[in-house]
Structure 1
Amino acid sequence: MSFQTMFRRFDETIKLNRFDENAELREKRDRILKRLRENLSITFEPFNQGSYAMGTGVKPLNGDYDIDIGIVFNIDRRSHDPVTVKGWVYKALETHTTRVEWRRPCITVYYQQSGEAIYHVDLAILAKDPYSGALHLAIGKEHSAAEQREWQPDDRKGFMAAVENRFSGEDAAQFRRVIRYLKRWRDVHFSSEGRAAPTGLGLTVAAYYWFQPTKSGPSDDDLGATLALVRIIHGQFTSAWDPSSGQPGVRLALRFPFAPQDDVFARMTNQQMQEFRQRLAKLIEWLEEAQRTGSTAPLQRAFGSDFL
C-alpha cells in the first residue's frame, strides 16, 4: 500500500464533516439559535465559522467537540457597550444547559454527558457597522473594567472566504488534508490544557501563507506536501527576548491576514514557543525518515495510532 493511500485513509478516519454534512452538529447549533430567537427582542444574523465551516476540522481525542458560531447584531457599536451586548446573549442562554460560561472573546455553551463535556459551542458576538458593513467583535467579561472592554475589528468572514478560494480542485483538497494532519499531530503531542499547544487557527494561517500543492508524478504527495510545509514553519522562528526570564528565546510571529491582524501565536510563552519549535523539528525527522526508509513506523509516531 502506498503512503498516499495510507494518508487518504488516515484523513477519512480523523476528519470532521462541515456543519451542513453533520446532523448532530446542526442539531446543537439550531437548538441554540432557536433559544436565542425566542429570548431576544432584537434580531440577529448567525453564521458558521471556524474549522467546521472551512472543512479543516478533526475529531478531538478528548471527545469535546468545539463548535464556532458568529452572532451578528445590526447595531451601531458606538452606541452600545460590548459587555452589555454580550449580556443579552448570556441571559438568553444561561439556563439552556447546566453550564454556560462568559469568556472574554465569546459566550460558551457546554453540553455534558456523565459530567464530562462532549460539545461546547463558542458564540462570538459581533456588531455590524450600519454604514460600512464591517464587523466588530465584543470583547470583555461580565465584570470587566472599562479599559478591558472593546469592539475589536473582526473579518473572520474574509479569512474563511480566502481559505475557501486559496486553491481549487485537488489542490484545495490536499490543502485541507495537510491542515488536518497538522491538527492531529498537535493533538497527539501537546496537552489540551492551557495554551501550550499551537492553536488550530494558527496552524491554518501558517498553511494559508506557506502551503504549496505537491505531487509525485500525476498523483498527490501528501507526505511531501506536509514535510515541505513543516520545514517552512520551522524556518520562520526568529530570536526574541523573553522579559520574564531575562533570557533570549525564539518565537514564531504570524499575523492574521485580515482584521484584527493580530499575532495568532501571541499568547504562547517563549518556553511554549521553544517546545513548539522542538516538536516541529522532531516531526521533520519522522517525515524524512518515512520518506527515506518507506517505513510507516515514524508516521505512526507523528500522527498516532489512527495512522494505519
Structure 2
Amino acid sequence: MAFCKKQFEEFHENIKLKEENEILSSKRDIIIKRLKDKLPDQTAYTFEIFNQGSYAMHTGIKPLDDDYDIDVGLYFDMSKDDEKPVKAKNWIYNALEGHTSDVKIKNPCITVTYAAGYHVDITVYAANNGDGKVYLAKGKPTSMSQDKRWDKSNPKDLIKEIRDHLSDKDDRKQFRRVVRYLKRWKDEKFNSGSGKPTGIALTSCVYHWLNIQKDTDLFTGNSSYRDLDALICTVSEMINRFQNEWVEVDGEYKWMPRLKVYLPVDPWPELFEKMTSKQMKSFKEKLEVLLDDLEDASAKADPTDAAEILKKQFGDDFPVPPKSTTGKKAAAAAVIPSSESARE
C-alpha cells in the first residue's frame, strides 16, 4: 500500500501560499493606509479593518492563473438601517479611486486590481445593529433594487472557527492540508465559469466530514499522518451524503443528486445552493473519479505508480518520484493506526 507521504508533503509545499503572503500583505497595508487617510472625508462613521477569507483562515493556495488575492473586511460602527448598502460601498470606491487603474464595485465587494496580477477585495459590514448581528453590503450601482441589500454575515466567527478548528495542532495541520488539496483539485478540474464549487464550500465539507488519519508509534508516541487516507475518507463521505431530489431539468422532472453543506457558524447558509442540478451532477461525477483514483493510488505497492495516478487529479505540482528511488521499502514501525472524527 502506498501512502505517498513524501509526495504529499512536497505537494503541499508547492501549493501553499508562502512568500506570496508578503506581497499580498504589502498590497493590503498600502490600501489600509489609504482607507484610513481618505475614508474620513467620505463618512463620519468609525470603522475597524481586519483580514478575512482563506488568507486569515490559513487555508490559502497558489492560484493556477497567478491571480493572487487577499480579502479585507471593514466593520462600520453603524446599523444596516442607517445607510444604503451601495452608498456605503461607494465610500470605499471613492477613497480608493485612482489608487490603480482598475477599481470596481462588485456585488459582494470592492476590488482593487494591480497590473502584476494581484487583487484586494474589500467588503463592507454594518456592525452595530440592534439584533447584535453583522450585515454585509451587497449590490453595485447597476444592480436591481432587490439585489441592493444588507445580508446577515458573521466573518469574524467564521475565521476563528476555521482557523482554530481541532484542539490538537497537528490534527489541525492535516485539516488545513486536506482543504488545500481539494482546493487545488477544484482548480484543476473545473472551468473558471459557473458550476465551480467555492473554496469555503469545500472547506466546510472538510470541517464537517474529515476523519483524522494518522499512525502513532507505540514506543515514542509520535504520530505520522496519512493524508491520502484522510482524502479518501473525506471524499467518500461527501459522495455518500448526496441525496436524490425530484427536480425539473430541461422541461422534465428527474431524480438528480445534490450535496448540501452548511457554513459552520451563524447564519449557517447552505453553500452549494447556487449550483444547478446539472452542475451538481457533474460535481458528483468528478468526485467519484477522484475517489476511484485515490483508492487506486492507495492500492499501489510502488509510490511512483501511485503518484502518477494522483498527478492526474492534482496537476503538475504533485511530484512523481523516479522508480530508482522507490524500490526499497523501509522497515515498518510498531504503530497504532488511528481514525479520528474532525466533527465537533
TM-score (ref. length: structure 2): 0.83
The 5 A counterparts of 1:19-30 are: 22-30=21-29
1:247 alignment partner in structure 2: 253
1:276 alignment partner in structure 2: 283
Shift, 1:273, TM fit: 0.9
2:155 alignment partner in structure 1: 156
Task: Answer whether contact 2:80 2:129 (CA < 8 A) is retained.
Answer: no
Taking a change above 3 Å as real, the CA distance of residues 131 and 215 of structure 1, as seen in their structure-2 partners, is same
2:68 alignment partner in structure 1: 65
Task: Answer whether contact 1:152 1:260 (CA < 8 A) is retained.
Answer: no
The CA distance in 2 between the partners of 1:242 and 1:2, in whole Å, is: 41
Instruction: Give the match's secondary structure for 2:136.
Output: strand
Residue 193 (structure 2) pairs with residue 177 (structure 1): no
Shift, 1:2, TM fit: 5.8
Task: Answer whether contact 1:68 1:123 (CA < 8 A) is retained.
Answer: yes
Instruction: Give the match's secondary structure for 1:77.
Output: coil
For residue 15 of structure 2, what is the amino acid of its counterpart?
I
The CA distance in 1 between the partners of 2:274 and 2:24, in whole Å, is: 29
Task: Answer whether contact 2:263 2:270 (CA < 8 A) is retained.
Answer: yes
The CA distance in 1 between the partners of 2:29 and 2:248, in whole Å, is: 46
1:296 alignment partner in structure 2: 307
Pairs aligned (count): 301
The CA distance in 2 between the partners of 1:275 and 1:69, in whole Å, is: 33
Shift, 1:197, TM fit: 1.3
Task: Answer whether contact 1:183 1:200 (CA < 8 A) is retained.
Answer: yes
For residue 73 of structure 1, what is the amino acid of its counterpart?
F
Task: Answer whether contact 2:232 2:294 (CA < 8 A) is retained.
Answer: yes
For residue 35 of structure 2, what is the amino acid of its counterpart?
L
Instruction: Give the match's secondary structure for 1:282.
Output: helix
Task: Answer whether contact 1:17 1:52 (CA < 8 A) is retained.
Answer: no
The CA distance in 2 between the partners of 1:289 and 1:8, in whole Å, is: 19
The 5 A counterparts of 1:130-141 are: 133-141=132-140
1:13 alignment partner in structure 2: 14
2:207 alignment partner in structure 1: 208
Shift, 1:34, TM fit: 1.4
1:98 aligned residue (94, 98, 101): 101
Task: Answer whether contact 1:17 1:55 (CA < 8 A) is retained.
Answer: no
Task: Answer whether contact 1:17 1:57 (CA < 8 A) is retained.
Answer: no
Shift, 1:25, TM fit: 1.0
The CA distance in 2 between the partners of 1:133 and 1:31, in whole Å, is: 31
The CA distance in 2 between the partners of 1:87 and 1:62, in whole Å, is: 29
Shift, 1:133, TM fit: 4.9
TM-score (ref. length: structure 1): 0.92
Structure 1: tracts of 5 or more residues without a match: none
2:77 aligned residue (62, 71, 74): 74
The CA distance in 1 between the partners of 2:213 and 2:241, in whole Å, is: 20
The CA distance in 2 between the partners of 1:130 and 1:232, in whole Å, is: 39
Instruction: Give the match's secondary structure for 2:114.
Output: strand
Shift, 1:44, TM fit: 1.6
For residue 124 of structure 2, what is the amino acid of its counterpart?
I
Please list every run of at least 4 consecutive aligned residues from structure 1 whose deviation after the TM superposition is greater than 6 angstroms. none
Instruction: Give the match's secondary structure for 2:317.
Output: coil
- 1:223-255 deviation line (CA, Å, top 9, x unaligned): 000110000011111112443523322211222
2:337 alignment partner in structure 1: none
The 5 A counterparts of 1:159-238 are: 159-167=158-166, 168-192=168-192, 194-217=193-216, 218-238=223-243
Shift, 1:102, TM fit: 1.3
For residue 270 of structure 2, what is the amino acid of its counterpart?
D
Shift, 1:131, TM fit: 5.2
The percent of aligned pairs where both chains have the same amino acid is: 40
- 1:163-214 deviation line (CA, Å, top 9, x unaligned): 122212110000000100001111111112x222111011001111111210
Shift, 1:152, TM fit: 1.1
Structure 2: tracts of 5 or more residues without a match: 217-222, 320-344
Question: Bigger relative contact order, structure 1 or 2, given CA contacts below 8 A and separation 6+?
Answer: 2
User: What is the alpha-carbon root mean square deviation over aligned residues?
Assistant: 1.8
Task: Answer whether contact 2:80 2:150 (CA < 8 A) is retained.
Answer: yes
2:325 alignment partner in structure 1: none
